[in-house]
Chain A
């Protein structure tokens, strides 16, 4: 019966080559194999985001009723709190997993020829994830969301020429308001997914095309000594088990730390003490603050954003700089650059939290 159904579909859609590819595909098996699961973990959290996001849209009302609708979701609708908390926690976990995935790819040198486009599409996906996070943060329209967004938008606002553009495009006026909320909602549920999903498809296609990269320590081994396992079903089964672990972690966080709702936003009130951006923007926020002590005013922010731009450009250009497989000075320099970047990211985030808490 199944065979007949399969043949019927295959005659029309020609899926046999895809199935054959999945059956023949092998995944390297070595002591660093655990890092291969992180891409799948990101994908799992993204799927959770999609499902819970759709469920939230059933009750969420953007505009003047936004706060009230989130209050109903959190405190009145059966299991509404669960969907909202799962959505928020999985967003944070997804961004965390994308960071881990990015650094694991970096240190395993998996950006090298022919995987440059995998690296670039991955970076673009990370950037989109962060914009997802920023746009979603405002949607409850509570006090914390309102002031955090105001602070966030004020940073590029200080740059010459940017203010009007941001006012026109994102804020919908000189101040964060329900017009901003409408724009952020449209960005969050239409514009970003429309860019993200095809880009994700491209990224996954590249992974299938090039396969999993070997870390330098494995590449140095003779081919006969390298081990691998079939992707299907062996690796796929392990991947599923890791997804279950991720689900468990998510369930635990949601149970112990469910998302509450702050008081409704009031533009006339002063900003609460210790207002700060989400953890994934904290290092940039702190770097700008520290730079502001050295170069005060708009110039400081201008220089700061310039430094970010150059830094991100260098990070993206890594595959072009370190493209050779053999161990070289460039390869070592790149590793040190990655370690420096990772240390700065962690350190600035910690300093940021120490200052605001």
Chain B
């Protein structure tokens, strides 16, 4: 607990990250897919001598510039802000180890934004070949950005044995490339590239649906057909690529996917099985719906409502897959190295022996003095609540709130002090057969700290907000 805890009531800090990340993932992938769509469509239109396509494309590029340049950048900064607050220990690790990769990524991002601005503002002002080259510069820069971030994100799930061996020795940077091209790098890169192409297809489909089919039936049919070509192959290949990705995920984490096949119990982690089903259903549904809506017979009458319906299904598919990928990392934030609450795997034994709060920078001296007194503050006039609360804030609040998302009062409802103590003991012992082990980190700390957390939670559940008398 070397950093202050970000207390976000009701939502919880994890959900704040998720909410920002959902927008950012959609926009950033759209930026890459659209990056390829713009110069390719422009080239095709010029080859066919279709000025009506070019007029449509110019309109698209303005919308594209605003969405990716403004919302993409703002949500990107938002993610940094949120993860830095929610999990500073993990963010610090990512920044320190990947500093060189981040540096390259920021350069690439600058090229991406500049090229897009130039592409939009230079419509009709430079030669066609140069304009198309600007479009390609944008597309390649955007994809390289994805390439780099993909390496870092996949590292968080599967850092690879070479890096894990070096972790904590000070020689981590010697395993930079092994960590970057980790086991899930390539399947993930393909999955993400396919998602980008589907995003481009969705974008093309929505814009094609707005063309008046009665006045320009030929243009509408052609643009719809062109959009289909982006969408259908990508959605057909996506489940295959995802299965490859999952095959590279460690077996223990992959097992989370089957946790909810037989039950809807066990908190939110059965959600992974349900997300898997949603992903498969929605991917297949998008393919079929696009085929049915945009067949030659229906292309002229393909309306905005139908296009938005397809877009919604596509976002459900991509969103469920992203959520699944993110939850699959549990109980770690960096696979086999750092747990989701910022505790390093290598520190568990030491923290159990010396205490979790022993070196916490945010504990007041008088509090620490009381805890280290012979009676652990049990005879103090002030209830020993703050230690339990600090344990809760430090080790639980990365994923739980008291009353909102994954709210502890609701999850522990019906358990008395003894029941909560038993649960906490299971989390603290962290045995191999613990039902919580697949998705929850161990609870670390001395016996006194663990008891303090039990007292705090029992008081929250009973609604007294005060610690029960000790026997």
Contacts and interface: CB of A to CB of B under 8 A. Distances in A.
Interface of A: 29, 34, 74-82, 85, 229, 233-234, 237-238, 240-242, 244-245, 247-248, 251-252, 254-256, 258-260
Contact of B278 (A74, A75, A255, A259): A255
8 contacts: A233-B297, A237-B297, A241-B309, A244-B285, A245-B289, A248-B285, A252-B282, A255-B278
Contacts of A82: 277
Contact of A248 (B263, B265, B298, B313): B313
Contact of B261 (A78, A233, A244, A248): A78
Contacts of A233: 297
Contacts of A237: 292-293, 295, 297-298
A258 B274 CA distance: 9
Given A82-B277, A247-B285, A258-B274, A241 B292 contact: yes
Nearest to B320: A255
A255 B293 contact: no
Contacts of A251: 277-278, 281-282
Interface string B269-284: 0010011011001100
B127 interface: no
A93 to B, nearest CB: 15
Contacts of A74: 263-264
B215 to A, nearest CB: 14
B313 A255 contact: no
B306 A238 contact: yes
Contacts of A255: 271, 274-275, 277-278, 320
Contacts of A252: 278, 282, 316
Contacts of A238: 292-293, 298, 306
A76 B298 CA distance: 45
Given A75-B264, A251-B278, A254-B274, 12 more contacts: A29-B301, A77-B262, A81-B260, A229-B301, A240-B292, A245-B313, A247-B281, A247-B285, A248-B312, A248-B313, A255-B320, A260-B264
A75 B265 contact: yes
Contact of B262 (A78, A85, A242): A78
Given A233-B297, A255-B320, A76 B278 contact: no
Contacts of B9: none
Interface residues on B, range: 20 to 34
A233 B293 CA distance: 11
Contacts of A80: 262
Contacts of B301: 29, 229, 234
B463 to A, nearest CB: 15
Interface in B294-314: 295, 297-298, 301, 305-306, 309, 312-313
A265 B218 CA distance: 64
B41 to A, nearest CB: 25
The A interface, classified by DSSP as helix, strand, loop or mixed, is: helix
Contact of B264 (A81, A234, A241, A242): A81
B118 interface: no
B356 to A, nearest CB: 34
B281 A234 contact: no
Contacts, number: 83
B270 to A, nearest CB: 8
A43 to B, nearest CB: 17
A133 B309 CA distance: 28
B272 to A, nearest CB: 10
A155 B466 CA distance: 45
A79 B295 CA distance: 35
Contacts of A234: 297-298, 301
A240 to B, nearest CB: 5
B237 interface: no
Contacts of B320: 255
B263 A75 contact: yes
Given A34-B305, A251-B282, A255-B320, A81 B263 contact: yes
B259 to A, nearest CB: 12
B297 A85 contact: no
A245 B275 contact: no
Nearest to A229: B301
A258 to B, nearest CB: 4
Contacts of B316: 248, 252
Nearest to B302: A238
B247 interface: no
B95 interface: no
Contacts of B292: 237-238, 240-241, 244
B321 to A, nearest CB: 12
A234 B271 CA distance: 38
Please indicate which of the listed interface residues A75, A78, A79, A255 has the most CB atoms of chain B within 10 Å of its own CB: A255
B361 interface: no
Closest 9 pairs (CB-CB, A-B)? A255-B274, A241-B292, A241-B289, A244-B285, A258-B264, A237-B292, A81-B264, A75-B263, A255-B278
Interface in B358-409: none
Please indicate which of the listed interface residues A75, A80, A238, A240 has the most CB atoms of chain B within 10 Å of its own CB: A238
B98 to A, nearest CB: 33
A253 to B, nearest CB: 10
A237 to B, nearest CB: 4
Nearest to A263: B414
Nearest to B266: A75
A324 B274 CA distance: 52
B349 interface: no
